[in-house]
Every structure is written in C-alpha cells, then in structure tokens.
Chain A
C-alpha cells in the first residue's frame, strides 16, 4: 500500500500535533494536503522549503497524493544555494515560509496556508518521468545541485518496511528530532503515517528546554537520532530524565561508536525500552538494514540484517560475491526502496530507473557467522560529520577554487585540512564551513611542509601525518 494515498483510513486519529498543542486528524491532514495538491496539479516541479511545520508536511503529502514531483530543501537553505538550485532546476512552484517569498524574483503567489506561500514561477512545463516522486539531497551533496531521485514506490515501500521492523503501531507518538528534508527525518514521518501513528512537529533541538517540554506534553514514545544526537543525549545524561512514555530509540545517519551503542542499549534494556541501530542512505530512500534491539548489547558494532523486503550481500573487487563470514568487501543492497538514480539538472527529471533496484553502497562490510553485517570502512573518500556525509574530494576542490592548496583527510569526528601556507588556516576552515554549513569545530587546519604527491601529481593520502 501507498501510505500517502490511504491516509483517509485512519480518519479521526491524530496525525500531527503542533507545538502549541493544536491537533490535526488524518482526515484533516488529507483535506489540507489535497487543497494544496489541487493548486499544483499540472505535475510541475515544486521546491519545498521544509521546516518541521504543519504547512511543510501538508505540502509534502499534497505533492505525493497529487503525483507532483517535489524537491525537499532545508527551510533555512542559504540564499545563494537556493539561487543556484533555482537556476539548475527552474521549478514551476515553490512552497516556502512567507518570510522568504521575496527571494524568488518574478514569482507570483497563488496559494497560502499556515505561514507558507505557494509561488508560481512561470517556468515551462516539466517533462518528468511518471515514477518520479521526490528529489532529496544526500548529506554529501550539500551545496551542490545533486539530488537523489526517489519513486512513489520507493517512498511507500521503505515506509512500510520501517513500520514493520520497528513495530510502529497507531498508538505510537513520534516527535521530530531531525529535519524533514533529511531522508532519516522524512522516514520517521513516513513510517508513522504508514502506521496511523501521531507525530509531534517541532523545530526545537534536543539542547532546548522547549524540546523536552514537548516530549513530556506529547508523551512521545520514540526518539530518533544521528550519532551526534546520541552524544548530546549522553552529555545531557538523558537516562536520568523522567520520560515514562518513551519506549523506542532509533539511531542511523552514520556509525555510532560501539561504546555508545553498548551504553544506550544497556540503559534501554534497564528501562524496558527498545534501542535500534540502523543503516541506510538517501540512495536507498533511507533504510537498508537494522540491528534487532535484542542484539544491540551482543553486537554493538553491527548494522544487523536487511530490512524486510531487502537483501544485502558483499562483493570482492572483481565483483564476485563473498560468502565466507569475516571477509570484507563492498556492501550491496537490493530492494524496492533503491532510488532511480541522481539528478543534477532539470532535464534529468525525465530519466527513468538507472539502478534496477540494486545499490552499490560504497561501504566496506563483512558478515559474521550469524548473518549480521558490520561496516568496516568506506570505499570512497567520505567522512560523516555530525551525521552529514562530506565528500573529501569536494571539499578539496572547493578550497582549491578559493586559492587554498590543500589535502583533506579525517574521520567521522574531525575533518583535517592539510595546508602548506600557515597564513591560510582560518580561511580554509571558514571556506570548508561555508561549503558544508557545518559547525567550525568539525574542521581543523594542519600545516605541513608539503603535500605528498606521486609522480602523476596525485595526493598520497597514506603519507599525510
């Protein structure tokens, strides 16, 4: 089933709760979504600047139901990034907070609801593939014009699978801990809508009193977070907080250290809660694997097993499947949630399925004797900073473009920018921050005498200090 087409069946059950306590039933959410959908029904491309608000959720559901392709962007996307996306994709509509309407010159307001306005840009009719539902940014493509193309089937299948393995039921109450434009944040919304559960909408962060007041007032039953979220929770000593309704915690968006998995799994077990480590990628809509909660203490470094409906395997460098346990190779996934491919410009929206349901993850993994998978490294040069996938190549390229000769390396805790000119340290960190929009503490400039290169001029990363 497609959850978005069948939301009516939950009728008067509550779908969304806003921060002021206003509740909206599934029937009301459908009515608002279809009112929105009827204004964009010519299958033009919609740029949806999504904060965790009812208006953004309404626009999102409205687009899915009306079969109008939508690109989900951060509500606070920097103006220059929005401008370059506008140029690359020429959307027919933008659904955005009224305060930002002036950033789209020449566009005309055609509809408004809950602090959001729908702008019509007058762009030419869109030629999009009939399967194309959503354009999502990968965390690695922040600041570039690259999107993952998701189909209607991708979105529905992943929501159903997640709801099944997390055992989400209609009495569950989620709260938004992650932004809606981020695939993990969106998957929380989708899987709960699939199950007829309730979602509290908030933009507050875990570091704000306002957030915890919502958790208590809404009697939230689950929290979802990236590794950084769990560091925040540890820092807050959340285990001492009085949260009697909380039953489930889920983690994805990068590798949580085995020590933290053990710590949270231990606390959760004591409290009678379920803790799930999960694995995925925007290229697979969101989720590919999960570690059953009863195994979290036993296998704290593992991503577990494929989600229902999916399949995982490992291949060696020549593309031969590795069947022995304990041998590392590239992790592959097959399932109905594997995206159609990427888009880099408007014309790409006409493309169909380029992956045939198979994703080469770029992660190196191995399987244990029980069939549980662990990620042991990455094939490509990526790091995950605060849960955001950052392409080291891309950072290097950007810095060089800014006149800073450099080599980038690092791990999920810190991206090191190796430079030879000590005077450029601050500029390098500032530029990396500008590109990635991440906190400056994620970067460190390291001054070295020279950047090690081979005869072909390629950087020898293994020789960096």
Chain B
C-alpha cells in the first residue's frame, strides 16, 4: 500500500479557507459565502485572496477578487487560472 503524498488542489483550497477564515472543515461548502461567518469580512477576504494567490502561485484580476463571493464561486474563478478541481 502506498501513501498519497501530493495534496490535491481541493485539499489545498480547503486548507487555505480553514486557515484564513478560521473555519472548521465541516463548514466548507455551498453555504460558506462572504459575510456568512464573522471572519469572512473585507479584512478576512483580503487575507483569503492573498493566501490563495500564494498557495497556487497566481495573481488574480480585480474583477475576480470582488466576484469571489463564496466557497463554490471561488473554485469556478480559480479554474480560470488553471487551478483544476
């Protein structure tokens, strides 16, 4: 039996969310939207965007940063930067 060492993009995406917004794994999903948890305010949003850009080594466009309104929408946006889920 081999152990998977490479994290999937989904795992990396989840980890960034949990760290930047201070949310447990069970809150990740369709219901996690901007302002739905205390830490996802404008301050949290900036930390989240910075952390995602670092994690995936991308530079997001202004329109994508302000359009990044939910956990689900974020995956759609990241796919534009060739981050596939």
Contacts and interface: CB of A to CB of B under 8 A. Distances in A.
A241 B34 CA distance: 22
A238 B67 CA distance: 15
Contacts of A237: 62
B65 A207 contact: yes
Contacts of B44: 439, 441
B42 A232 contact: yes
A272 B69 CA distance: 32
B49 A235 contact: yes
Contacts of A442: 43
A interface secondary structure, majority: helix
Interface in A231-270: 231-232, 235-238, 240-241
Interface string B57-84: 0000011011101000000000000000
Given A208-B34, A232-B42, A240-B62, 4 more contacts: A208-B69, A209-B67, A235-B49, A441-B47
Q: How many of chain A's residues touch chain B, expressed as a range? A: 20 to 34
Contacts of A386: 43
Nearest to B63: A209
A228 B46 CA distance: 10
A216 to B, nearest CB: 12
B39 A440 contact: yes
Interface of B: 22, 34, 39, 41-47, 49-50, 62-63, 65-67, 69
Nearest to B45: A207
A440 B44 CA distance: 9
Contact of B43 (A211, A236, A241, A439): A439
Given A235-B65, A237-B62, A207 B46 contact: yes
A206 B62 contact: no
A353 to B, nearest CB: 37
Contacts of A398: none
A240 B64 CA distance: 14
A386 B47 CA distance: 13
Interface of A: 205-209, 211-212, 228, 231-232, 235-238, 240-241, 386, 438-442
Contacts of B62: 236-238, 240-241
Nearest to A228: B43
B58 to A, nearest CB: 14
Contacts of A211: 66
Nearest to A236: B62
Nearest to A213: B66
A237 B59 CA distance: 11
15 contacts: A205-B41, A205-B42, A205-B45, A206-B42, A208-B34, A208-B69, A209-B66, A209-B67, A228-B43, A235-B50, A235-B65, A386-B43, A439-B39, A441-B44, A441-B47
Given A237-B62, A240-B62, A440-B22, A209 B42 contact: no
B43 A441 contact: yes
A211 B34 CA distance: 13
Contacts of A240: 62
Contacts of A236: 62, 65-66
A439 B40 CA distance: 9
A205 B34 CA distance: 10
Contacts of B65: 207, 235-236
A232 B65 CA distance: 11
The list of the 3 closest CB pairs from A to B, nearest first, reads A205-B42, A439-B43, A207-B45
A235 B66 CA distance: 11
Contacts of A206: 42, 66
A235 B45 CA distance: 11
B43 A209 contact: no
Contacts of B39: 439-440
A236 to B, nearest CB: 5
A383 to B, nearest CB: 15
